[in-house]
Amino acid sequence: MTASLSPTAPIDEFTPEQLELQQRARTFVEEVLMPLEQDAERLGGRLPQEDIERVRREAIAARLQGGRHAPEHGGQGWSMVEWFLVNEQLGRVTNGIHWHVPNAYNVLTQGTPEQVDRYLRPILRGEGGDTAYAVTEGEAGSDPSGISTTARRSEGGWVLDGEKWFVTSGDVANVLIVMANVVDGADRLPTLFLVEPDAAGVSIVDDPAYTHNYPHGHPTIQFSGVEVADDAVIGGVGNGDALQRAWFTEERLGIATHGLGAMWRLLEEATAWALTRQQGGTRIMDYQGVSFPLADSATEATVGRLLALQVARMVDSEADLKIVHAKASMAKLFVSEAAWRCADRAVQIFGGRGYLRSNVAERFLRELRVDRIWEGTSEIQRLIVARALERRGVEATIH
Ligand X SMILES: Cc1cc2nc3c(=O)[nH]c(=O)nc-3n(C[C@H](O)[C@H](O)[C@H](O)COP(=O)(O)OP(=O)(O)OC[C@H]3O[C@@H](n4cnc5c(N)ncnc54)[C@H](O)[C@@H]3O)c2cc1C
Among the listed residues 383, 387, 392, 396, the single contact to ligand X using CB under 6 A: 383
396 binds ligand X (CB under 6 A): no
Q: Please identify, using beta-carbon distances, which residue of 287 and 374 lies nearer to ligand X.
A: 374
CA dihedral defined by 47, 52, 54, 58, rounded to 10 degrees? 120
- Binding-residue total with ligand X (CB under 6 A): 20
Q: Binding segment for ligand X among 25-33, 36-44, 49-57, 368-376 (CB under 6 A)?
A: 368-376
5, 242, 373, 396: which one binds ligand X (CB under 6 A): 373
**Interaction residues for ligand X, span 271-300 (CB under 6 A):** none
Encode 219-238: b = buried (16+ Cβ within 10 Å), e = exposed: bbbbbeebbbeeebbbbeeb
Burial of 377 (0-12, 13-18, 19+ CB in 10 A): middle
Among 31, 230, 231, 379, binds ligand X (CB under 6 A): 379
Q: How far is CA 179 from the centre of its chain?
A: 18
Q: Are 190 and 151 in contact (CB under 8 A)?
A: no
Asked if 105 interacts with ligand X (CB under 6 A), we say: no
* Least separation in angstroms between CB 149 and ligand X: 11
Cβ pair 251, 331 in contact under 8 A: no
* Residue among 58, 69, 81 nearest 123 (CA): 69
Chain positions 171 to 210 lying near ligand X, rule: CB under 6 A, are 210
Residue number of the CB closest to ligand X reads 141
Binding test (CB under 6 A) with ligand X, winner from 92, 100, 218, 332: 218
State the minimum distance, in angstroms, from the CB of residue 150 to ligand X: 17
Site residues (CB under 6 A) for ligand X, limited to 117-176: 133-136, 141-142, 166-168
Q: Of 105-113, 195-203, 316-324, 379-387, which part binds ligand X (CB under 6 A)?
A: 379-387
> β-strands 278-279, 282-283: how paired?
antiparallel
Q: How far is the CB of 282 from ligand X (least distance, A)?
A: 42
Alpha helices in 48-132 (DSSP H): 49-61, 80-90, 113-115, 121-124
Q: Which of 176, 326, 370, 384 binds ligand X (CB under 6 A)?
A: 370
Do residues 67 and 83 lie in contact, with contact meaning Cβ atoms separated by under 8 Å? yes
Find the part of the chain contacting ligand X (CB under 6 A) among 33-41, 52-60, 289-297, 377-385.
377-385
Give yes or no for residue 247 binding ligand X (CB under 6 A). Answer: no
3-state class (DSSP) for residue 204:
strand
**CB of 385: closest distance to ligand X in angstroms?**
12
Q: Are 144 and 244 in contact (CB under 8 A)?
A: yes
Which 332-361 residues touch ligand X, going by CB under 6 A?
A: none
Residues of the chain by 3-state class (helix, strand, coil), percent to 5: 55, 15, 30
Maximum C-alpha span of the chain: 80
Report the interface residues with ligand X, using CB under 6 A: 133-136, 141-142, 166-168, 210, 218, 370, 373-377, 379-380, 383
